[in-house]
Amino acid sequence: MVTIAPPNLVSFALTSCAAIPTAKYSGIIVGCASAAEGGYHISREDQPPGNYSISHYPADAGGDRQWASAVDISMEPREMGNVTHRLTRALSAADPRASALRAFNGSLNGKTALRWECDGAVGTAAPEHAHCLHLEIFRSRANDLRALFDLMSVMVGADSSPFEECAVEQVHGHIERSLDSICARITDIANRLTLMERHEQR
């Protein structure tokens, strides 16, 4: 029984932190105080039976059974409000770039923490989420680099997918090769960070 951080989820988290002012990486495996109760911060095989993170959506049945599938990113109130607003807008508009997002906890004003589900439901969240964004990714998408970077493009306020912009430039082959090379490097760095994070867990 083990929980590991998928390399591309680590890449997504660290790149998001680099792209969002004041954002700080707060964890994939560790993070929320509630992780011991089950949920996306721990793997499918480590869940208590019937936990919501494995029982509600078919998209949570896929992916590696040892992957964690949640990210915590801390940020100051202004960025929290901006990022939360962009994510709520993407969910309500069914923006395909947010299709990997199962739910998230955040705050529109940096004071009141709320939870938004992909089905449109809004609920309460623990107070810590006023300054700590908690993203739950469908388990089948937890290592999907394209889906994750599409989501990041929403978070940073971009108007379109970085991958679509490449296609529009009609130099698709060249950019695809460049992207592959960049992704390989990011994955290599992320793999090492994942090993470090696993080491710290022991």
Please state the closest distance from residue 74 (CB atom) to Zn ion, in A: 10
- Determine phi and psi for 134, rounding to 5 degrees: -115, 115
Pick 79 or 161: Cβ nearer Zn ion: 79
Q: How many CB atoms lie within 10 A of CB 94?
A: 10
Q: What is the DSSP string of 136-194?
A: EE-GGGTT-HHHHHHHHHHHTT-SS-HHHHHHHTT-HHHHHHHHHHHHHHHHHHHHHHH
3 state DSSP class of 135: strand
Residue written as token pair 């078919």 = 58
Please state the closest distance from residue 147 (CB atom) to Zn ion, in A: 19
Pick 51 or 187: Cβ nearer Zn ion: 51
Residue written as token pair 């992780």 = 35
Please tell me whether residue 137 binds Zn ion under the rule CB under 5 A. no
**Residue ranges of E strands in 23-69:** 24-27
Q: Parallel, antiparallel, or unpaired: how do β-strands 114-117 and 101-106 relate?
A: antiparallel
Given candidates 44, 131, 134, 141, which one binds Zn ion under the rule CB under 5 A?
134
Taking CB under 5 A as the binding criterion, the range among 49-57, 72-80, 93-101, 194-202 that sits at the site for Zn ion is 72-80
Please state the closest distance from residue 41 (CB atom) to Zn ion, in A: 6
Cβ atoms 77, 131 nearer than 8 A = yes
Given candidates 16, 69, 72, 103, which one binds Zn ion under the rule CB under 5 A?
72
Pick 25 or 57: Cβ nearer Zn ion: 25
Please state the closest distance from residue 72 (CB atom) to Zn ion, in A: 4
Taking CB under 5 A as the binding criterion, the range among 94-102, 132-140, 172-180, 184-192 that sits at the site for Zn ion is 132-140
Please state the closest distance from residue 122 (CB atom) to Zn ion, in A: 18
Pull the structure tokens for residue 167. 């296609």
182: CB partners within 8 A, 6+ apart: none
Taking CB under 5 A as the binding criterion, the range among 8-16, 68-76, 150-158, 171-179 that sits at the site for Zn ion is 68-76
Pick 85 or 115: Cβ nearer Zn ion: 115
Q: Which of residues 32-51 bind Zn ion (CB under 5 A)?
A: 32
Contacts with Zn ion, residue ranges (CB under 5 A)? 31-32, 72, 134
